[in-house]
Amino acid sequence: AEFASILSSRQAKASLAGGRPAGAVQVHIEAIDALHFISPSKTGDRISLHGHVTRVFGTSMEVEISVRAYDVAGGQESARHINNGFLVVQVLGGDGQPLALRPSRADMTGDDPESRPRHEAAASREAVRALRRQMGSLQAGAMTWSEDLKEEMCICNLWGVLRISHVDEWHELAAMPRGSPLPAPLAALNAGSDVSPADIALSANLCTWGLPLLSIRGCLSVDTPPPLVFELLKSPERRAAWDVLLKEGRLVRQIGPDNAIVHEVFEPLSGDLGRPHDYALISSWRCESDGSYVIASRSIVVEEVPPSPQYQRGEVLPSGWWIQPQTDGTGSELTYVIQMRAELLGVGTDIASARKVAFSLMPSLLGLVRLL
């Protein structure tokens, strides 16, 4: 907090090493990164900030800031190095938009032997910042797997499932209370029974988050307690026992006790002819303090699962299961959500496409209920 307070002051902004390019109206601190707190400052200290531009990007620059304190009251002339960190600075024009900057190159770093390593390290930090922005944003697309950020990626994966589960704008596609008649095609897949084995409701969110994403939600009420449901659903190896769309699923690598990289291949969701689609996923699962469970999977880019010409590579934002105990403590309320890049799967983001995709998922949901 002390570091951020110092750097947000008007005087600090005006004295940044980046200066003010022509046409600049305002210097905007976009991010404060990689803070290193060495020692505190004291009341009465004189504070000085020393800045060094490490790299210039297209519309921003990274500035390394060293904060030093002088004990003026105590008569000490030597400075104490108290904080160190990096700023991402944007220079805004009169319209409030970032001005275009000429990106720096390694051969522009001059004779200072430390400048080139700083320049290269700045690119690595910017890549990490971009990945963090994607984790917390609604940006569609697969994330590049990072061992350094694996804990953050897994937490954001779980949070993403809870976020979409709490969205209010869902279009109802079908409601099948327990014991109600099933459509004939589904009855044939329900072990010969023509009635719904559980309370099942299907709904869709079109153009989720204003992006070309189609989201499908399935809500089920089952008599099985949450811990048993959780043990079944978290296992990629056991998915084949209930998911009729799954062609192949394998554990690529375990990431601690609660996360794993998996590769899954599915039949086309729309039911049309075409290549199966596959996913490279980070899967995460947690038990919450209220007795509920979350299981989440999100598309990633990882060397261990390269794209294959025999499959259509699909992409999903955080998708999975939210398992809640019923109020009487006997069964479970299941919420299944999937956020998919519709165009990669050859489907639209309209009601007709959503209904087609949702009903293609029904055989798998019925298979899960039978297994439970």
Full DSSP string of 283-327: EEEEE-TTS-EEEEEEEEE-TTS---TTSEE--EEEEEEEEEE-T
The whole-number average pLDDT for the span 20-33 is 72
CA end-to-end distance (rounded Å), the chain: 51
Q: Mean per-residue pLDDT for 321-346? A: 87
pTM of the model: 0.72
Mean pLDDT of 200-216: 87
Is the confidence at residue 5, as pLDDT, over 90? Answer: no
Mean pLDDT of 225-244: 89
- In angstroms, the CA 248 to CA 242 distance is 13
Cβ count near 142 (within 10 Å): 21
Structure tokens at 170: 């869902």
b (16+ CB within 10 A) / e for 315-327? bbbbbbbbbbbee
Distances (CA, A) of 19 to 26, 51, 99, 108, 282: 11, 10, 13, 18, 43
Q: How far apart are CA 340 and CA 149, in angstroms?
A: 23
**Average pLDDT of the chain, as a whole number:** 83
Instruction: Give the integer Cα–Cα distance in Å for 222 and 338.
Output: 20
pLDDT at position 150 over 90: no
Is residue 197 within 8 A of residue 187, CB to CB? The reply is no
Task: Specify the 3-state DSSP secondary structure of 41.
Answer: coil
Q: Answer whether residue 200 shows pLDDT above 70.
A: yes
The predicted pLDDT at position 140 comes to 59
Angle at CA 141, nearest 5°, toward 136 and 147?
65
Q: Tell me: pLDDT of 316 over 80.
A: yes
Whether residue 195 is predicted with pLDDT greater than 80 in this model: the reply is: no
User: Please, which contacts does 301-304 make with residues 24 or more away whose CB atoms are closer than 8 Å?
Assistant: 301/142, 301/143, 301/144, 301/145, 302/144, 302/145, 302/252, 302/261, 304/252, 304/253, 304/261, 304/280
Residue 158 predicted with pLDDT over 80? yes
Q: Which of 258, 261, 302 is nearest to 284 (CA)?
A: 258
How many angstroms separate the Cα of 149 from the Cα of each of 31, 256, 318? 18, 14, 17
- For residues 230 and 266, give the distance between their C-alpha atoms in angstroms, rounded to a whole number: 22
Question: What percent of the chain lies above the pLDDT cut of 70?
Answer: 85
Mean pLDDT, rounded, for 148-153: 84
* Helices 351-371 and 226-233, packing angle to 10 deg: 110
To which residue do tokens 């001005």 refer? Answer: 99
As given in the structure block, the two tokens for residue 116 are 């080139």
Is residue 323 within 8 A of residue 285, CB to CB? The reply is no
Residue 15: what pLDDT? 44
* Most confident stretch, 174-178, 267-271, 284-288, 343-347: 284-288
Q: What percent of the chain has pLDDT over 90?
A: 26
